Amino acid sequence: MYKIEEPIYFYLLAIIPAMIVVFLLVLWWKKRTQRKFSNLSLLKKLAPNSSVFKSTLKLIMLLLGITFLVISLVNPKMGSKLKTIKREGVDIVFALDVSKSMLAEDIAPNRLEKAKQIISKIVDNLGSDRVGIIVYAGNAYPLLPITTDHAAANMFLQNANPDMVSSQGTAINEALDLAKTYYNDDEQTNRFLVIISDGEDHQEETKQMAQDLANKGIKIYTVGVGKEKGAPIPMRVGNSMIGYKKDNKGETVITQRKPEILEGIADAANGTYIDGNVTEKPVKEISDIIATAQKSEFETKQFSDYKDQFQWFLGISLLVLLLDIFLFDKKTKWLRKIDLFNEEKAKK
């Protein structure tokens, strides 16, 4: 198992195409200048030892040296042992509403970004707990399966947006149904589902589905974002706003937070509804709940004892660059005798 310590140095590989372009331009300039001085047959007599092949070979050697040098700078490491590590924690799955109504800007910067901030801060407060993320609008999709990789959770979370789902709406039923598949450990005694939404367009049967999940030992908490007085839904093309969403009558749609729907889901599952307009409130409440929950032991496998491999690539780089130094642009006597590329025969 390999991992890269300093991937930023890969940007240095941009030097390679730049050097190739410069080499081709110089080669074209030389030939153009030489043609002005004399014809091709006379040039071969004046400079019989000149070799385009040797110049090209020197460039290839130099580029190989730079490539291996860059690889040594990123310092690839190889995991030599696969260890099974025992951890204690709970499983917590976030169901994030990414419908268009979550783009309303009645709370800064908008409802969706506020929801992401809440999830991110909760994840940062987790210990060895496992986390998963579901996104939903008209459909529900698994954004991140259950994992102990909290950095990956935050990375995937930042990419969540309404364009990830094929249809709009708020299919909380599908999100609840998908959440069942996330808890793959039947012995895990504490399992949490946190639904973050503005509460719009939820169907009535969601309460029954929430209750079914609660009967399976899954504790459900709901977090509402947005203001009850509502706000229009901005429509954007790229970074430019082109107006607000309108209904069939041409009137601006006002989206409102529906706390009573989210409260009903939480009550049906013996959970709690939390106002999410102030980020720290749901972060503190949910973090405290998870911190005081009984932890169950589970196993994870990961590579350990990573060893540096940069020295191999550095050694190859230095060897190739050293060969490049001793490689001349002109034809060597022994190479002319061998006539490897039939250059002498071509002259005859």
Do β-strands 76-89 and 296-308 pair in parallel, antiparallel, or remain unpaired? antiparallel
Specify if 93 maps to a domain.
yes
User: pLDDT digit string (tens) for 262-289?
Assistant: 998 999 898 999 999 999 999 999 999 9
- In this prediction, residues 96-110 reach a mean pLDDT of 92
Q: Mean pLDDT, to the nearest integer, of 165-184?
A: 82
Of 235 and 332, more confident? 235
Q: Rounded CA gap, 16 and 340, in Å?
A: 28
Confidence class of residue 28 from pLDDT cuts 50, 70 and 90? confident
Taking the CA atoms of 180, 181, 186 and 189 in sequence, report the sign of the dihedral they define: negative
Q: Say if residue 283 is in the same domain as residue 324.
A: no
Is 159 among the domain residues?
yes
Q: Does the residue 60 lie in any domain?
A: yes
Q: How many domains does the chain fold into?
A: 2
Q: Considering only residues 87 and 89, tell me which one the structure prediction assigns the higher pLDDT.
A: 89
Mean pLDDT, the chain, rounded, equals 82
Identify the CATH number of the domain in which residue 185 sits.
3.40.50.410
Higher pLDDT pick, 172 / 305: 172
Backbone dihedral angles phi then psi of residue 236, each to the nearest 5 degrees: -130, 150
| Ranges 163-172, 212-221, 278-287, 327-336: which has the least confidence | 327-336
Using CA atoms, how far residue 278 sits from 17, 52, 107, 222, 275, in Å, is 50, 69, 9, 14, 7
In a domain, 179, yes or no: yes
Quote the domain boundaries for residue 10.
2-75+309-347
Model pTM greater than 0.75?
A: no
My answer on whether 53 and 178 are in the same domain is no
- Per the domain annotation, does 118 fall within a domain? yes
Does the residue 82 lie in any domain?
no
- Answer positive or negative: Cα dihedral of 108, 111, 113, 116: positive
